[in-house]
A and B are shown apart, each in its own frame.
Chain A
Amino acid sequence: MLQRLFKFKGGVKPQTNKTQSVGLPIAVAPLPTRLIVPLHQSIGGTPDPLVAPGERVLKGQKIGGADGWISSAVHAPTSGTVLAVEERVAPHPSGLPTLSVIIEPDGRDEWITRTPVDYKALAPETVREMLRDAGVVGLGGAVFPSHAKLSASKTVPMEELVINGAECEPYITCDDLLMRERAEDVVRGVGLFRDLLRPKRVLIGIEDNKPEAVAAMKRAVQALGEDFAVIAVPTRYPAGGAKQLIRVLTGKEVPAAKRSTELGVQCFNVATAYTAWRAVAHGEPVISRIVTLTGNVAQPRNWEVLIGTPLAEFVALGQPKADTDGYLMGGPMMGFEMPSPDAPLVKATNCIIAGSPTLFPPKAPEMPCIRCGECAKACPHELQPFELYWFARAKNFGKTQEYSIFDCIECGCCSYVCPSRIPLVQYFRFAKSEIWAREREKNAADTAKARFEFRNLRDEREKAEKAERLAKAAAAKAAEKKAEPAPAAPAADAGIGAPAAADGGAPAAAPLDAEAVKKATIAAAIERARQQREAVQPKNTDRLTPAQQKEIAEIEARRAPLQAEQPERSAPPATDAAQEQQNQ
């Protein structure tokens, strides 16, 4: 079948620098001395830690449970002891710490009991839950939980499933080697996705600078009798961007601020398909990944590394050269400098590039924008970076949104072609994070306002209710009083009322009434207190032994004549005694 290919606008062709690291097969990295596993490794909720310091964990044991549907579990990469659950520096451009589980490996690499399942016998819902609990996330770099992408839309029929093996960024070769060496498991994983989504076509896109991977994938597809189309796409950065690859393979352009699912297309990375298959068919959660170690090292190659391996221990495997001055995570276009040698490798780490002043010479100073428009020509999303730059620099964030800043994928093409060497992507990242911060503040203010208004409303309601209650009580009292002093009233009338009647009976009666009410209230309170006292049963007098009862009876007997001698104090003790006898 001849596949017609489409083109995306813009893009650049940087030196690929991939040959250095493809010479050697994937090697399994030795156990590090310490593993630092951050709990938040995917988009969505931060998993809650499930282990405590001192606890022994097995390889593949869940140490962080998914928090909500858009979240993914985290597992112990090897067996050992949990040393601590604490904040450790994260592989993040900020260099800020994040909650991590620190594990000291015991060297035995002891697995939990793995239970391979036949997913075809299970409900799709169960399979999705399995993937979430196995920590399967998008390994192309965005680390979006894969299970959340595996429910077909109810309104749009699923047309195409696009599998992304383009790996367009320079230096990175981890997907290339994975497809060359483990093509069959990748294809089985694609089959799993296909069965969950039921698309009409499955398209596997691989850049044409990886002929070995294309051949291996074609062989695997044939060997497994699948009908997936393995397609070599022209090498041009960023062909591996999801929207770009979808455009090249299907001709569909995903509109701004929409997802590809709305066009019936879903996209997964090849490494994601591989880990999904391992999770379902082998019961192995995502505890390792393939990472390219390249750049200024003596032995560039791909390693299968445990998640949580500290950067320093990992780069030692490649023997970095003496003039190495830093390490990039990701590629040279979109990657960032690792903040510390203690930062661990995570599910999002596809490549570590050792940098040196000769490999990445320091940038010449930034010059003013001359509005040449090269950036707009290079932008794969057809944005106008020179306008965005202008507004972001002026902190005019409303305008940047009008110019669709959130369609920017931060691919770096504009910065790459800029003759004035303006770090355009940095301006866009700055503008985006400022807009997000404002959004958060706005939401917080709205919540605060709603809560404040509700509180005021409640206060008023409570006040009204209290006033109503008081009024009701007063009315009831007044009614009661009117009924009660009826027999007493004639007497009062006879004594004081008659002479007082001349100078206004009503005012004279009011204070009298108030006094009577007060007295009645006090009497009622005394009565209530007495009743309460009587209602209370002394707790220490039930379940007495016969000996104790006898003793009490003797005491009572001694007390009786004494009470008879003191008649004026006899009343209360007598009732007490009576009560005690009653209780017994």
Chain B
Amino acid sequence: MLTAILIMALGAVVLGAALGYASIKFKVEGDPLVDKIDAILPQTQCGQCGYPGCKPYAEAISKGEADINLCPPGGMEGVQRLADLLGREAKPLDAEEKPKQVAVIDEQTCIGCTLCIQACPVDAIVGAAKQMHTIVESLCTGCELCVPPCPVECIRMEAIAENIDNWKWKYPVIEIKPLRQAA
């Protein structure tokens, strides 16, 4: 009887020590769920979700503070993927979905104030004080953060036009829609 208790106690101590050691040795830095959510987000860093960047939004989702339908650039597809990842119900997007766009600076009007450069989260604007600014189109995420600071309103957003490089083959299924009944 005593031997049995001792063996069980010994076992508990050994296993407890092993688990304690493992929890220190193999400690996971950060929250892996945040990284998984962050990977789905489009990384525009636009703040349209109300958080200062994609990572803070991912953190808020993982803590359950934010809903999954707050990211307009990610679109409905992004919501669906987040719902699949988190095992939640997909909800309609909390804003209207926009086509992908880039910012364009009207270089004739630009006065070189550098306010947009400071606003750009991905350093996609080139320029210096009292020098004309321009946007590096390939780096622009279309976050619109540079539009409000411009004092002369010379920045506009343009939808990315379809060209031969980004053209896609169309889905060959033609959806059959019911004829709309005349009211």
Contacts and interface: CB of A to CB of B under 8 A. Distances in A.
Interface residues of B, number: 25
Nearest to B41: A445
Contacts, number: 66
Contacts of B54: 449, 452
Interface stretch (B17-25, B59-67, B163-171): B163-171
Interface residues of A, number: 30
A451 B167 contact: no
Nearest to B118: A459
Given A96-B164, A96-B167, 13 more contacts: A40-B164, A92-B167, A94-B164, A395-B171, A429-B169, A430-B170, A433-B167, A437-B166, A437-B168, A440-B166, A448-B139, A449-B54, A451-B139
Given A426-B172, A441-B42, A445-B42, A451 B122 contact: yes
Contacts of B170: 430
Among B44, B139, B141, B169, the one with the most A-chain Cβ atoms within 10 Å of its Cβ is B169
A452 B45 contact: yes
Given A426-B169, A430-B169, A441-B42, A448 B163 contact: no
B101 interface: no
B169 A446 contact: no
Contacts of A441: 42
A453 B43 CA distance: 11
B123 interface: yes
A90 B167 CA distance: 13
Contacts of B121: 452, 455
A55 interface: no
A157 interface: no
A501 B166 CA distance: 80
Contacts of A497: none
A448 B44 contact: yes
A200 B20 CA distance: 64
B173 A393 contact: yes
Interface in B17-54: 38, 41-45, 53-54
A445 B171 contact: no
Nearest to A431: B169
B164 A446 contact: no
Nearest to B54: A449
Interface string B167-181: 111111100000000
B43 A455 contact: no
A364 to B, nearest CB: 15
B168 A430 contact: yes
A222 interface: no
B122 A448 contact: yes
Interface in A441-467: 441, 444-449, 451-452, 454-455
A40 B165 CA distance: 11
A423 interface: yes
A432 B43 CA distance: 24
Contacts of A93: 169
Contacts of A449: 38, 43, 54
Contacts of B42: 441, 445
Nearest to B168: A433
A452 B162 contact: no
A98 interface: yes
A455 B123 contact: yes
A-B pairs, top 7 by smallest CB distance, nearest first, are A445-B43, A433-B168, A429-B169, A426-B172, A451-B122, A448-B43, A94-B167
A444 B78 CA distance: 16
A272 to B, nearest CB: 23
A448 B141 contact: yes
Nearest to A448: B43
A446 B39 CA distance: 9
Interface in B100-137: 121-124
Nearest to A422: B172
Contact of A452 (B43, B167, B168, B171): B43
A40 B164 CA distance: 10
The winner among B43, B141, B166 for most chain A CB atoms within 10 A is B43
A434 B168 contact: yes
A427 interface: yes
A444 B137 CA distance: 12
With most chain B CB atoms within 10 A of its CB, the pick from A94, A96, A447, A449 is: A449
A452 B164 contact: no
15 contacts: A94-B164, A96-B162, A96-B163, A393-B173, A426-B172, A429-B169, A430-B168, A433-B168, A437-B168, A446-B43, A447-B122, A449-B43, A451-B124, A452-B45, A452-B122
Interface string A176-200: 0000000000000000000000000
Interface in A397-454: 423, 426-427, 429-430, 432-434, 437, 440-441, 444-449, 451-452, 454
A430 B172 contact: yes
Interface string A251-266: 0000000000000000
Contacts of B172: 423, 426-427, 430
B110 to A, nearest CB: 21
A427 B172 CA distance: 6
Contacts of A454: 123
A238 B122 CA distance: 48
B77 to A, nearest CB: 10
Contacts of A98: 163-164
